Amino acid sequence: MTLWERSRRPGSRRRIVGKDDKPVTDPVQILWMPSGISLPSLGSRALAHVHDGDTPYVEMPIRMLSVDTPETTADTAEGAKRVDEEFKQLAAWIRDGIAPISDDLAEFLLPKIETGNAGSLQFGQGTAAATFNTENIKKRLAEGRDPGKERGIFIRTAGDFFDDNNRLLAYIAPNYSKKELDTLPREKRPTFNLDLITEGWAAPFVIYPSIPGELDLPLFLRAADKAVKDEKGIWKDPHTLLAYEYRALEKLHGVTKKKAEGKKLEPGEAFSWRTRYCADMRDRELHGPEDYFRVPPIYRLWLWPQDVNEAFGHLNLTPSQRLTGSGSRTR
């Protein structure tokens, strides 16, 4: 009998046996289903180097938590102009009652997309935000270091570890020594996430359960409130579409275009462009996906539908009357 032959005795389990008819491995009594997330290939450039046999260094994207910078998905100024036209068309469809959007939310968003430059404004702001973040990170990593040397990066996750695009969800900051941490107050060693909020290049985008801690959240909200009042960055233009609004309207344009062309929508497709619920951090009132605008931007706490029930108990939320009662009319 060879090493790889399997016994088939009546009533016995299949097992790998050796020449002496004894199992090569002993049976175990431990059954464990590990939790975790499987990530797809990180790409051909993901492997940075191998330090030793069991320590490869890899590169991967990080989605900065609790902030949302303007999008640059148009890629070029010409691409942004195409979005300008798409949003103008969407505005016309909304006016004609074709788009599946509530009257109240439509009234809130129409002034922002009827300008004719919503896409170009978003692209310009996104480019400026990326430039600021690049320069700010480089500057802060060099602070307090010898010329030509940089600090390491501190990474902290919260709640969920990865998003749907397989990006690590985290707060990132320069890595400070214990002595520095003991002497520098929090506001003097902010995360890069908070820097974006402070300079007005990102809108607050806190999503349950990845909520800043009890010491960080007040700091975060004060910075956001000041940036809005001082009209810094994206807050300078009253017609600014926040990045999550921009992404939702791109989806709404696709849905409405299909509807305008007489194509049949799949079940639930008419409302697939907006899914997150929004709670007001001040009074814990929960609003439906199309009522988020009733909460000032800095106090919006976002929840995915699958997290709403859990969040109700953890955060003691209260549903709005519109969510439980008459609601708003949808076109």
Q: Write out the DSSP string of 4-50.
A: T-B---TTPPP-BB-TTS-BSS------------------TT-EEEE
How far is CA 110 from its chain centroid?
25
Is the predicted pLDDT of residue 234 greater than 50, yes or no? Answer: yes
Integer Cα distance of 331 and 272 in angstroms: 15
pLDDT grade for 6, boundaries at 50, 70 and 90: very low
pLDDT tens-digit series, residues 145-183: 889 899 999 999 887 888 888 889 999 999 999 999 999
Average pLDDT over residues 31-58: 77
The structure tokens 């464990």 sit at 32
- What's the chain's average pLDDT? 90
Residues ≥6 apart with Cβ < 8 Å to 176: 151, 154, 184, 189
Q: What is the pLDDT of residue 7?
A: 42
Nearest 5°: the CA angle 61, 63, 69 is 125
pLDDT grade for 57, boundaries at 50, 70 and 90: confident
C-beta separation of 280 from 287 below 8 A? yes
pLDDT tens-digit series, residues 88-125: 999 999 999 999 999 999 999 999 999 999 999 999 99
Average pLDDT over residues 124-151: 95
Q: What is the pLDDT of residue 331?
A: 55
Residues ≥6 apart with Cβ < 8 Å to 282: 299
pLDDT grade for 287, boundaries at 50, 70 and 90: very high
Integer Cα distance of 26 and 143 in angstroms: 58
DSSP code for 245: H
168's tokens = 């690590």
DSSP 118-161: HHHHHHHHHHHHHHHHHHHHHHHHHTTS-TT----EEEE--S-S
C-beta separation of 286 from 294 below 8 A? no
Q: What is the pLDDT of residue 29?
A: 79
pLDDT tens-digit series, residues 73-84: 999 999 999 999
Q: What is the pLDDT of residue 242?
A: 98
Please enumerate, as own/partner, the contacts of 132-135 that have beta carbons within 8 Å and a separation of 24 or more. Answer: 132/196, 132/199, 132/201, 132/233, 133/69, 133/192, 133/195, 133/196, 133/201
